[in-house]
Structure 1
Amino acid sequence: MKLARPDILHPRIVLAVDSRRDRHGAAPAGTDSAAADAEAGLLAALRHRGLQARRLPWDDPETLNADLVILRTAGGGPDRGAQFSAWTRRVTNLLNPPEAVAWNADRRYLADLQCDGVPTAQGRSPGEVTALVFFGAGRSHAFGAAGADPDFELWDVGRAALRAAAERLSIRIEELLYARADVAGTASDARLVRLDLIAPELGWAEISDEQRDLAQRRFAVEVGAALERLGLGPLAQRRP
């Protein structure tokens, strides 16, 4: 067996899931495991780029030993919110970063974005909603009311929300690994309903196999870019 070179850093990546799921991402018996099954392609896409990742419950002590942790389900629920919040600050290199998680977990974030000039649907019926998924600073895919190819005006609202959030958090927009912006209305009156920077549902089951494969490869590219920014690229030298 050919062993990995010990002088080369092989970053330890964890996809952190709800503690009710096992370390393979499977949901408990009797619950819907379609989302976990659909996301299995993420691990394969990461492996294709030479990156090894595994799923662990967010509260597993081993997550604290990882080089990079990516939230894939929001953790804790109302009864464990404080514990989850404290954990996000203890983890090394959490994506999205803990300040983004804390800001986005407060429902007042929509009011913040409205103050920043992002049109929102606060106080009005949103109607049909289109989900827009971003990886890094770029568009990935969409699903929902407007289908897979929504008008660019809807993307503009999602992008404006992302930019405003990054400015409020004093980070670069590229530092947000992923985001989902739910936008309602038409091109002439598009409004933000929700922005998820914590552990957005990426809609794998809502898009075609071809779109899913492309999006998962794009996700893996952005994870690689994040590792490079953090000095954890797969070719980084291990410290003595």
Structure 2
Amino acid sequence: MKVVLASCAALPEGDGDEDALVEALRSDGVDVVWQPWGADVHADLVVLRATWDYTDRLDEFLAWCDRVPALANPASVVRWNTDKSYLVELAERGVAVVPTTVVSPGSAPDFPDGEFVVKPAIGAGSRGAARFTDHGSALAHFEALGVKALVQPYQSSVDSNGETALVFFAGEYSHSFHKGPMLAQGLAESASGLYVEEELGGIEPTAAQVALAEQVLDVAAELLSLRRADFLYARVDVVEGPGGEPLLLELELTEPTLGFRHTGPEAAARLSAAVRAAVD
């Protein structure tokens, strides 16, 4: 069994988070190699991982995904998930989502009062995301982006509680990790050019957070005419709303960091088992 972990030219073997997964796969007898996306690939399964430069070449990336015979997650999922407008679709189906407005280039955004975030609808690693109170500065940022963007009220709980990332393999809950606040006033700074550095650590989610994440995956699977188990991996990022309730911030089904460095080796073993089951 040969498995390719897809990366990008700037990080041909990822950022180190997948080291435990590579070890688990090899312990399970899987021939696993890294390969930057774009070229033809021959494997029993290609797993999208550190493909973090795709936002600058989205059409090329999606065309490559369409050409890969066995891709996880599937190309149809990637096409839907790389545009964060999916948050509006999920909200329309009853999911508790951070209030989200999609703004197209050339239109006049209706910014909310208080603090809010403007970020590209198609983006990875928090690049281009910025936090504002001043409408003029926000408009200048939106116009500089020149792309479809999301406007969301900033959830002040993030400053004290951060985000909780819940990770699922083949539709089943695996583990969670904590993400500290990244957005001060103004634009998030990216040290690598591919993603904003995050403060991460292990955490146990609440029952309400797990219930929301389960609902998110169920609704997403229904929207895509799939089973929840068809998502080889998923990361559901939730924050605390004004009343203490969990709200969906993002559903990551394309290339999320899975937090192997912040949990035990059993998590990598679970994904290895899911990979082998997907091939079988």
What TM-score comes out, normalization by structure 2 length? 0.67
| Partner SS for 1:53 | strand
Residue 19 of structure 1 and its aligned partner are, at CA, apart by 2.2
Which residue does the alignment assign to 1:237? none
Which residue does the alignment assign to 1:189? 245
Residue 130 of structure 1 pairs with residue 164 of structure 2: yes
Measure the CA separation in 1 of the matches of 2:97 and 2:11: 34
What percent of counterpart residues are identical? 35
**Which residue identity does 2:254 align to in structure 1?**
I
**Which residue identity does 1:135 align to in structure 2?**
F
Which residue does the alignment assign to 1:108? 85
Structure with greater proportional helix content: 1
Which residue does the alignment assign to 1:31? none
Measure the CA separation in 2 of the matches of 1:80 and 1:204: 28
Over residues 78-115 of structure 1, what are the superposed CA-to-partner deviations in whole Å (9 max), with x where a residue is unaligned? Answer: 33111101000000110000111000011210001101
Contact 1:75 1:84 in 2 (8 A): no
Which residue does the alignment assign to 2:75? 98
Which residue does the alignment assign to 1:233? none
Residue 169 of structure 1 and its aligned partner are, at CA, apart by 0.6
Residue 147 of structure 1 and its aligned partner are, at CA, apart by 5.2
Residue 75 of structure 1 and its aligned partner are, at CA, apart by 4.6
Measure the CA separation in 2 of the matches of 1:71 and 1:168: 21
Over residues 196-229 of structure 1, what are the superposed CA-to-partner deviations in whole Å (9 max), with x where a residue is unaligned? Answer: 0001111233x2xxx330100011011111112x
Residue 51 of structure 1 pairs with residue 30 of structure 2: yes
Residue 18 of structure 1 pairs with residue 8 of structure 2: yes
| Partner SS for 2:69 | coil
Residue 157 of structure 1 pairs with residue 212 of structure 2: yes
Which residue does the alignment assign to 1:79? 56
Measure the CA separation in 2 of the matches of 1:171 and 1:158: 17
Tell me which moved more, 72-81 or 117-126: 72-81
Q: Which runs of 4+ in 1 moved over 4 A?
A: none
Residue 198 of structure 1 pairs with residue 254 of structure 2: yes
| Partner SS for 1:130 | strand
**Which residue identity does 2:259 align to in structure 1?**
G
Contact 2:5 2:48 in 1 (8 A): yes
Equivalent residues, number? 201
State the structure with bigger RCO (CA 8 A, min sep 6), 1 or 2.
Answer: 1
Measure the CA separation in 2 of the matches of 1:193 and 1:183: 5
Q: Which runs of 5+ in 2 are unaligned?
A: 100-151, 180-200
| Partner SS for 1:164 | helix
Contact 1:136 1:176 in 2 (8 A): yes
